[in-house]
Structure 1
Amino acid sequence: MEFIAKNTDILKLKTQCAVVFALNNKLLTSAEKIDKTHHGVLSKALKSKDLGESLGKSLWISVPQTSKEQPYERLLLVQLGKPAKAKTTDIKCESWRKALVAINAAINTTQAKDAAVYVDDVNIHESTESTLALATDLALSAEKSQYRYDTTKNEVKLPVLKKMTLVTSDMSAAKRGLTKGKSLGCGINTTRELGNLPGNICTPQYLADQAKSLASQHPKLSVKLLGEKQMEKLGMGSFLSVAKGSDEEGKLIIMEYKNAKNATAPHVLVGKGITFDTGGISLKPGAAMDEMKFDMCGAASVFGAMHALVEMNAPVHVVGIVAAAENMPSGRASKPGDVVTSMSGQTIEILNTDAEGRLVLCDALTYAERFKPKSVVDIATLTGACVIALGSHATGLYSNDDKLAENLLAAGEKTADRAWRMPLWDAYQKQLDSNFADMANIGGREAGSVTAACFLARFTKKYKWAHLDIAGTAWQSGAKKAASGRPVALLVEYLLNN
């Protein structure tokens, strides 16, 4: 989708759909101009309460064709609700985002191929760079609204909107915001698509091919792939204990994007990429097992973040590591009670083969040491316990560094991709004690998400590290079952700020 910033008048810019606003039940500047041109048609809609006063309400306005030169074919009036501060045109960021959802939903029901949005003197109350925030969210929302899963479906009605123009006087900030928002939207849609693909298509090899494809389009991105023989030489016995149960070969995928102005140590993202999780020998119940194709959403979020960064040509140095494998119950699969040796040299007693994510992640986290990273953030659909603790609203955040945790939390708040910090106390570590190895891979029923994080913490002592448990936020179930694209926005914001 194409995004353009222009400084022009609503009575001059030719568009198939013009979008104007009411705030606190009063028309903003561009809406007032239309109102005067068409003898009060918008004022009447407000007075009659056809639009309504609730935030995000929209109304198609029928305007008579006054001349052949009339630039707009359709007119959409959108309610911004109450201002964030009395007697101002300041609105909350959340209000703007809700309005954008309504705008895109309305436009996507039409055959309009282009639209122009007139923000006039609207300001984002919480932002020091209001136009940048307006533009970023506009492009992000529009790009996300274009996504439809159609890879394995024959008939899917796709939106026809191809171009959106933001009309504003602050051109420089608008252009930067539109680039950022579009890039972020592309990254989020990449994550959604990978998550939504079925496990028979999105295999470890498929993810490896996607990494190579992305690198072929972006010269500053390089890719390295490790197969099972190479991982065996590195001593990744924990990772291989999961991969060996499947006919699909496990892959460690390393993507490096090097675009920082100065030679700097990278930030590293590590994604759990279990492309399908049966539970292994500790077989899962059959109900909703199809949703275990989403068990690679941590890996998908790494792909999405890398895609967004290269699209916006971000001045950062980032390494993305994806630990990709299937967890299957074959004759070669690990058994409860097996003991394996991780790349770090620590031994692990596998008490439950359905706690496989931490087994592939621990070796990937040890591999990350070679980059001497500024920070490492792993992202994983790790535990059902995190869903019980936080539901689907917040991602669980664990960290061995307070500043890193604060930066991630702040990025989540800014992008409405929120996380909540959970404890990582030594008192929980004793639950991982084993009679036959250095540790067990599960810590019992209590505090399951915490003990999973405590397990990973044993492999991250050489750098600043955070763990994001996205089991509750990576996808939604039910009639609207689909990957969410989280936490790409949080990750990209963190990387851009640090």
Structure 2
Amino acid sequence: MKISLKVGKVENEVAEAVIVFFFEKFHEDKGPDGVYKKLDSALGGMLKDLVNNKEFEGKGDQVLLIHTSKFLKAKKLLLVGLGKQDDFYLDLIRRRVGNGLKRVRDIGTSKAVIAMPERIPQKFKTADIFQGIVEGAELALFKFDKLVSEKEKEKEKEIKELTLLLESRQDFKEAQKGVDAGEKLSSAVNMSRELIIKPANFSTPTFLAEKAREIAKALRLKCKVLSEREIKKLRMGAFLSVAKGSKEPPKFIIMDYHPRRAKPHTIVVVGKGITFDSGGICLKPSKDLYKMKYDMAGGAVVLGVIQAAASLKLPLRVVGLIPATENLPSGSATKPGDVVISHSGKSIEVQNTDAEGRLILADALAFAKRFKPAAIIDLATLTGACIVALGDQAIGMMGNDQKLMEMFREAGMQTFERVWELPLWKEYEEQIKSDVADIKNIGSNGGAGAILGGIFLKKFVGDCPWIHLDIAGTAWTDRDKDYIPKGATGVGVRLITQVLRNWK
């Protein structure tokens, strides 16, 4: 979709459809230059009639389409309510833009115009509003159709051009800044979504590695992909124990965005890259097993973060690590009760082969320390227990640094990829003690599953500031949301990138 920014008047805009936003009590605005009065005048009092009949009052759940070709140069006008002005928050603009564009798309609109909302509280910056508008548009209209036949594609409705309208040139520069950031972030999110949605017979470890190289080439980054032989040389026994059951070769992907004038901090982002998770010998139930292609969401998000950081030219060195493999049963697969030696030298008793994500992350986290990072961030679809605890609304967050966790809380509210802290109390460590090895990969009593996943990973980061994000409940949605279509969400790309943007 082509997005452009221009200065103009809503009532004079030539378009298939124009989307206009109103807060409640918009009709009480006494100023002569407001959009409501201008439109109402051009429409011969139609808006005033709608207000008087209570058909549209700017409430948060109101959307009204009116045909205006007899009055305006625009064929249709979509009125979208924003609710009470005092209740406005940034994610609301993403939501209302997403819903509005889906509405006009579904009636066959290919070219749409969005007018800058009036009366936005002053604490919200113009750049942030326009970034939110673009994110709401690009993320809501995403669709994965790469495997659909051309004949079926022809039936799909699509918005091809979107114009964002400013009434004054005064804010143009800031608005353009927001548009540019929104496009770069949305592109990174949608790239990640596509990788996650793509079936596992396409999105293999080798495919992920090729995608990493493609991104690195386009953005002039360093990228190194370690083969199984090289992984063995690094003595990553935990990682390789998961890969043993599959014929697909594992890959360890290292991406390095290192700008010339970077701040003296290196941030390492580690993502779980299980391109299909059957559970291994501890086989999962068949119900919804097809969704286990999404178990590489953490790895896909790492690629998205690296792409976003480089596209936005952030002044930080960001290293991305993705241990990528399948987890399948076979005659050569790891068995429950096997003991493996990790890259850190710690021995691990594998009591459950379906707790494999923490095994591949253990070696990647230990490897991350060689970069002497200011922080390590890992994210993974790690535990079903996190879904039970938090559902699909919050990311489970654990870590060893309160300042870093506060940065994630703040970024979570800015992006609405919200986090909720779970404790890593010392008492939990008893549950992963093994009788035959240093630690085991599941707990003793079946409780606190998400926390024990974090407790396990903590053993491999040492004293380095570290955050673990369990995105098991948020990486996939079974229903359409405002600007998140059914399927992969790409959650984590905007959150982590915002933390990097806020880094001081």
Q: TM-score, normalised by structure 2?
A: 0.92
- 1:123–1:130 contact (8 Å) kept in structure 2: no
Q: TM-score, normalised by structure 1?
A: 0.93
Task: Write the distance in 2 (CA, Å) between the matches of 1:120 and 1:354.
Answer: 49
Task: Write the distance in 2 (CA, Å) between the matches of 1:277 and 1:209.
Answer: 21
1:309 shift after superposition = 2.4
1:132 shift after superposition = 1.7
- Other-structure match for 1:65: 70
| Residue 237 in structure 1 maps to residue 244 in structure 2 | no
1:40 shift after superposition = 1.0
Q: Could you say if the C-alpha distance between residues 135 and 462 of structure 1 is closer, same or farther in structure 2, counting changes exceeding 3 Å?
A: same
**1:426-473 deviation per Cα after TM superposition (whole angstroms, max 9, x unaligned):** 111111111111111111301111111111001001411110011111
Q: Tell me the secondary structure at the aligned position of residue 195 of structure 1.
A: helix
Task: Write the distance in 2 (CA, Å) between the matches of 1:93 and 1:234.
Answer: 45
Task: Write the distance in 2 (CA, Å) between the matches of 1:465 and 1:317.
Answer: 16
Q: Any gaps of 5 or more consecutive residues in structure 1?
A: 86-90
- Other-structure match for 1:314: 314
- 1:254–1:321 contact (8 Å) kept in structure 2: yes
Q: Could you say if the C-alpha distance between residues 168 and 395 of structure 1 is closer, same or farther in structure 2, counting changes exceeding 3 Å?
A: farther
- Other-structure match for 2:43: 38
Q: Which amino acid aligns with 2:327?
A: N
Figure out how many residues of one structure are paired with residues of the other and give that number: 487
Q: Which amino acid aligns with 2:335?
A: K
Task: Write the distance in 1 (CA, Å) between the matches of 2:12 and 2:69.
Answer: 17
**1:98-125 deviation per Cα after TM superposition (whole angstroms, max 9, x unaligned):** 3212221222124433332222533146
**1:360-399 deviation per Cα after TM superposition (whole angstroms, max 9, x unaligned):** 0011111111211111100001011111111111111000
Q: Which amino acid aligns with 1:195?
A: I
- 2:263–2:316 contact (8 Å) kept in structure 1: no
Q: Tell me the secondary structure at the aligned position of residue 268 of structure 1.
A: strand
Task: Write the distance in 2 (CA, Å) between the matches of 1:210 and 1:163.
Answer: 29
Task: Write the distance in 1 (CA, Å) between the matches of 2:20 and 2:147.
Answer: 38
- Other-structure match for 2:383: 383
- Other-structure match for 2:130: 135
Q: Could you say if the C-alpha distance between residues 109 and 31 of structure 1 is closer, same or farther in structure 2, counting changes exceeding 3 Å?
A: farther
- Other-structure match for 2:162: 163
Q: Could you say if the C-alpha distance between residues 8 and 481 of structure 1 is closer, same or farther in structure 2, counting changes exceeding 3 Å?
A: closer
Structure-to-structure mapping, 1:112-151, within 5 angstroms: 112-119=109-116, 121-124=118-121, 128-151=123-146
Task: Write the distance in 2 (CA, Å) between the matches of 1:188 and 1:416.
Answer: 14
Q: Any gaps of 5 or more consecutive residues in structure 2?
A: none
Task: Write the distance in 2 (CA, Å) between the matches of 1:218 and 1:280.
Answer: 37
Task: Write the distance in 1 (CA, Å) between the matches of 2:4 and 2:159.
Answer: 17
Q: Could you say if the C-alpha distance between residues 207 and 111 of structure 1 is closer, same or farther in structure 2, counting changes exceeding 3 Å?
A: same
Q: Could you say if the C-alpha distance between residues 267 and 92 of structure 1 is closer, same or farther in structure 2, counting changes exceeding 3 Å?
A: same
Task: Write the distance in 2 (CA, Å) between the matches of 1:12 and 1:248.
Answer: 59
Q: Could you say if the C-alpha distance between residues 260 and 176 of structure 1 is closer, same or farther in structure 2, counting changes exceeding 3 Å?
A: farther
1:402 shift after superposition = 0.7
- 1:222–1:257 contact (8 Å) kept in structure 2: yes
1:50 shift after superposition = 2.7
- Other-structure match for 2:205: 204
Task: Write the distance in 2 (CA, Å) between the matches of 1:92 and 1:36.
Answer: 30
Structure-to-structure mapping, 1:389-468, within 5 angstroms: 389-444=389-444, 445-468=446-469
1:54 shift after superposition = 2.9
1:95 shift after superposition = 3.4
- 2:22–2:118 contact (8 Å) kept in structure 1: no
- Other-structure match for 2:147: 152
Structure 1 stretches of 4+ with a deviation exceeding 6 A read none
Task: Write the distance in 2 (CA, Å) between the matches of 1:124 and 1:295.
Answer: 40
- 1:270–1:378 contact (8 Å) kept in structure 2: yes
- Other-structure match for 1:259: 259
Task: Write the distance in 1 (CA, Å) between the matches of 2:488 and 2:10.
Answer: 38
- 2:393–2:418 contact (8 Å) kept in structure 1: yes
Task: Write the distance in 2 (CA, Å) between the matches of 1:285 and 1:64.
Answer: 56
**1:223-262 deviation per Cα after TM superposition (whole angstroms, max 9, x unaligned):** 1101110010011111001112100011111111123623
